Amino acid sequence: MSGRSGGGLAALTLVAITAVLLTACAAPGADSEETAPDDRVAAGTSTTQTVPDLIGQDAASVDKLAAQAGVVPMISYDPGAAGQLGTVVRVDPPPGTAVALGDTIQVAVAGKPGGTLDELVAADRRNFVGLSADPDGTFVVAVIAGADGNAALRRIEPALAGRKHRVVRCATTWAELSRLAVEIGQRTDLRASKAYAVTVEPGACGVLVEGDIDDDVVTALRAAYTDRIVVKQGPAGRAIGG
């Protein structure tokens, strides 16, 4: 990926959409008929999922494949791992393990992350909530509040040099927001919508729900999740079918 401004924005878009949790299209776990007790969750949706086989997959594919499986990947890099650089070498729990919908899995990638801003942020999800951009092109770096977040910001200072940016400090983590996005994506009322997308929205320290959504569903979502959710009605560029 290019480190130049235009290339950075293109890569930024990729990082942003990797947080899309395709829960509306995720298949229920094959070995379970258990359904969630909460009546907001779609009937027939399994609360048990299977850890996908990510071994050998390119790091850029991890988010999409994990989202389809209904799990949340925490990616780390292992410079000493045997395997093709940039590909997954370990998954914990191992592929095939039954886990709860929205559970976190640990994914180890051989080598080191790239040096572009978006790659550095995506490689440190324990401290960064994500990266987005304002309409004027300003980079928005969302980081957890506190000393660890400040240290993480210092580590990416070289990649931020010369770039117009602002920092947002969040009281939540990428993993927590991703699990929330999984939960929201399984709601019965939302799944009845014609088309919608559920994504982590770093700049808002919350979850973005956008698409062709009825007013009563919007009201219910805002009542249930208050400041943890941003709802945008209208055509969603990343919309998925309900």
Per residue in 135-163, pLDDT (tens digit) is 999 999 999 999 999 999 999 999 999 99
> What mean pLDDT comes out for the span 159-188?
94
What's residue 236's pLDDT?
56
Q: Residue 197 pLDDT > 50, yes or no?
A: yes
Q: What is the mean pLDDT of the chain?
A: 82
What's residue 83's pLDDT?
87
Residue 219 is assigned to a structural domain of this protein: no
Residue 91 is assigned to a structural domain of this protein: yes
Residue 164 is assigned to a structural domain of this protein: yes
What backbone torsions phi and psi does residue 198 show, to the nearest 5 degrees? Answer: -125, 120
Residue 192 is assigned to a structural domain of this protein: no
pLDDT per residue over 205-240, tens digit each?
A: 999 999 999 999 999 999 999 999 999 998 754 444
Q: Domains in the chain: how many in total?
A: 1
Do residues 26 and 67 make contact, with C-beta atoms less than 8 angstroms apart?
A: yes
Do residues 141 and 155 make contact, with C-beta atoms less than 8 angstroms apart?
A: no
- Count the alpha carbons within 13 Å of 235 in the hemisphere toward its beta carbon: 1
Higher pLDDT, 10 or 106: 106
Give which of 141, 83, 139, 137 is closest to 107, Cα–Cα: 83
pLDDT over 70 percentage in the chain: 78
What backbone torsions phi and psi does residue 65 show, to the nearest 5 degrees? Answer: -70, -40
Residue 133 is assigned to a structural domain of this protein: no
Q: Residue 41 pLDDT > 90, yes or no?
A: no
Residue 100 is assigned to a structural domain of this protein: yes
Q: Which two tokens stand for residue 100?
A: 């709860």
Do residues 72 and 178 make contact, with C-beta atoms less than 8 angstroms apart?
A: yes
Residue 58 sits in a domain whose CATH number is 3.30.10.20
Residue 163 is assigned to a structural domain of this protein: yes
Distance CA 25, CA 30 (A): 14
pLDDT bucket at 194, cuts 50 / 70 / 90: confident
For residue 34, give its domain range. 27-128+141-169
> What mean pLDDT comes out for the span 162-190?
94
pLDDT bucket at 186, cuts 50 / 70 / 90: confident
Do residues 137 and 165 make contact, with C-beta atoms less than 8 angstroms apart?
A: no
What's residue 65's pLDDT?
93
pLDDT per residue over 79-104, tens digit each?
A: 999 889 999 999 999 999 999 999 99
Residue 33 is assigned to a structural domain of this protein: yes
Q: Residue 32 pLDDT > 80, yes or no?
A: no
pLDDT over 90 percentage in the chain: 65
Residue 4: helix, strand or coil by DSSP? Answer: coil
